[in-house]
Amino acid sequence: MKLEEWTEPVAGMGRAVRRGASHAWEVTRDRAEDALYDGERMVRRNPVSSLLGSWGFGVVLGLALGLVLRQKESRPPSLSSKWFKAMGCGKAAE
């Protein structure tokens, strides 16, 4: 078999993949532009509710992270945990 017999079908497949990827990128870019435009329009029409919603989301996220971090600091790692037992360490190994 000659090299040309192998390269032409592969080149055709490469062109098809490139066209498909280009189309997918254009569709994705168009959707992102539409979402950006819609979001900007909503914020311009309802600035107070957008601001309050963002502020509320930040407060809830901050409280949740603070709670998780506080629990981690107040609870030292246990030497009798499953991981230490599986590794043969701590009280389980004695």
Q: What is the mean pLDDT of residues 63-83?
A: 74
Q: What is the pLDDT of residues 6-62, one digit of tens each?
A: 677 777 788 888 899 999 999 999 999 999 999 999 999 999 999 999 999 999 999
Which amino acid is it at 26?
A: E
Select from 25, 45, 65 the last residue of a domain. 45
pLDDT on residue 94: 46
50 close to 42: Cβ distance less than 8 angstroms: yes
**Which amino acid appears at position 1 of this protein?**
M
Same domain, yes or no: 56 and 88: yes
Number of domains in the chain: 2
User: What's this model's pTM, rounded to 2 decimal places?
Assistant: 0.47
| Alpha-carbon gap, residue 92 to 5, rounded angstroms | 67
Q: Both 36 and 51 in a single domain? A: no
32 and 51 assigned to the same domain = no
39 and 57 both lie in a single domain:
no
- One domain, residues 23 and 51: no
In terms of residue numbers, what domain contains 13? 1-45
Give the distance, in angstroms, between the CA of residue 23 and the centroid of all CA atoms in the same chain: 23
Who wins on pLDDT, 51 or 70? 51
Assess contact for 93 and 79: CB atoms under 8 A.
no
The pLDDT value recorded for residue 1 is 61
